[in-house]
Amino acid sequence: MHASIDGLDALILNRIQGDFPVSEDPYGDIGSALGVSGEEVLLRVKSLVERGVVRKVGPFFDARKMKYVSTLCALEVPEEKLEEVAAMISAYPQVTHNYLRAGSPNLWFTLIAESREAVARIISEIEKKGGVKPVRDLPAKKMFKVKVDLKVGE
Amino acid sequence: MEKRDIELVRALQNEEIFLTERPFHEAASLLGWTVKEVLERVRALKEEGVIRRFGAALTPRNAGFKSNSMIAWDVVDTRAEEAGSLMSEHPRVSHCYIRPRFEGFPFNIYTMVHGSSPVDLARIIDELSVLAVSSSYRALHSLKEFKKSSPVYYPKALEPENA
């Protein structure tokens, strides 16, 4: 367990990861379930955000149901061009994740846009601007629903 | 998506409201709706699956998961659905997708895996290998993070209700 996460933090995290109450008083509801006040829960959550344990609290949308199209892309970039090409790719607001990874291809990014055409257009722009070809377009054929989130404190 | 739902989605993407005492009241005041209307519509969007889940996302590294990796598996096509379904139920798998293979890269199932240590990560990979009935995989360890952000849907400023 992470040193700065105590028992109550872990209980709160495990409660809110998958199921933040959609109610008039969500923090009060979480508090009632855990035997503490809503104020205490909110203070804890704010502190977890400040400490970087929690990245975000809020809704996670299903891109497909909103008619957005997402994909994972992979390409091989020579080391001397890596920073430049990675920055060019990250500059697209439609790119949400961008990582250098072990092996070949070495650069992996996720792309989310309004249509298949928009995805294809951005990929071909990246190929042209970066002089990097091919950029592999790897849309999910199937996305499995994960049952629970990471249990903290086990 | 209907105009009212788009407005709601935009309001809910103001993440700071979820760190206040009454998040849905804040959303209601941004929208000029009643809190009852907001709650009803949010519940409906959850029901429809437009909102996959409501909750917190962790930064695994800061939550005690020091060894994280994307592992791509080569699983026989006829078994891919079953393997993906089994692997997605593993408690240390946070994402699981079937994707196309490509030249020089025969892997078709992608999992994000979170371990507390390198030893723990290796143990999880072994367990997944059993579930996938495949020992052919590649660990795509991240060497550098260039970008990590939440997608922004319908990016446009909220228009005041009575403008």
A with B: how many residue pairs have Cβ under 8 Å apart?
A: 224
Verify that B65 and B133 share a domain, yes or no: yes
Q: Between A48, A59, A147, which is nearest B12 by CB?
A: A59
Q: Residues with Cβ < 8 Å from B74, sequence gap 6 or more? A: B101, B106, B107, B108, B134, B136, B137
pLDDT in tens, B88-118: 999 999 999 999 999 999 999 999 999 999 9
Verify that B22 and B68 share a domain, yes or no: no
Residue-level pLDDT, tens digit, chain B, 163 residues: 889 999 999 999 999 999 999 999 999 999 999 999 999 999 999 999 999 889 998 888 888 889 999 999 999 999 999 999 999 999 999 999 999 999 999 999 999 999 999 999 999 999 999 999 999 999 999 999 999 988 889 887 544 444 3
Which of the 8 DSSP states describes residue A65? G
Cα separations in angstroms, B122 against B93, B129, B131: 13, 10, 14
Verify that B33 and B89 share a domain, yes or no: no
pTM of the predicted model, to two decimals? Answer: 0.86
* SS3 state at A29: helix
Cα separations in angstroms, B16 against A47, A152, B23, B72: 14, 24, 9, 35
Domains of chain A and CATH, by start: 7-50 (1.10.10), 64-138 (3.30.70.3460)
Verify that B43 and B98 share a domain, yes or no: no
Contact assignment for A27 to B21 by CB distance below 8 Å: yes
Is residue B155 situated within a structural domain? no
Is residue B23 situated within a structural domain? yes
Set of chain A residues whose Cβ sits within 8 Å of the Cβ of B51:
59-62
Helix then strand then coil, in percent of chain B rounded to 5, is 40, 25, 35
Is residue B152 situated within a structural domain? no
Verify that B96 and B119 share a domain, yes or no: yes
Q: Between B54, B87, B144, which is nearest A99 by CB?
A: B144
Verify that B120 and B73 share a domain, yes or no: yes
Verify that B118 and B67 share a domain, yes or no: yes
Residue-level pLDDT, tens digit, chain A, 154 residues: 455 789 999 999 989 988 899 999 999 999 999 999 999 999 999 999 999 999 999 999 998 899 899 999 999 999 999 999 999 999 999 999 999 999 999 999 999 999 999 999 999 999 999 999 899 999 999 999 775 567 777 5
Verify that B75 and B33 share a domain, yes or no: no
Is residue B126 situated within a structural domain? yes
Name the percent of chain B lying above pLDDT 90: 81
Q: Between B23, B65, B143, which is nearest A102 by CB?
A: B143
Nearest-Cα distance to chain B for A58, in Å, is: 5
Give the CA count within 13 Å in the CB-facing half-sphere of A136: 19
Verify that B25 and B77 share a domain, yes or no: no
Tokens of A25: 């008083």
| CATH number of the domain encompassing residue B133 | 3.30.70.3460
Which of B1, B10, B13, B19 best probes binding to A when mutated, by most A CB atoms within 10 angstroms? B19
Is residue B24 situated within a structural domain? yes
Nearest-Cα distance to chain B for A116, in Å, is: 16
Is residue B97 situated within a structural domain? yes
Verify that B14 and B67 share a domain, yes or no: no
Verify that B75 and B13 share a domain, yes or no: no
Is residue B65 situated within a structural domain? yes
Alpha carbons B46 and B26: distance in angstroms, whole number: 19
Nearest-Cα distance to chain A for B95, in Å, is: 7
Name the percent of chain B lying above pLDDT 70: 96
Contact assignment for A56 to B102 by CB distance below 8 Å: no
**Owning domain of residue B69:** 60-140
Q: Is the dihedral of CA A142, A21, B151, B125 positive or negative?
A: negative
Task: Say how many C-beta atoms besides its own lie within 10 A of residue A24's C-beta.
Answer: 16
Set of chain B residues whose Cβ sits within 8 Å of the Cβ of A70:
151
Report pLDDT for B160: 46
Single-letter amino acid code for the residue at B79? R
Domain count for chain B? 2
Is residue B148 situated within a structural domain? no
Nearest-Cα distance to chain B for A84, in Å, is: 11
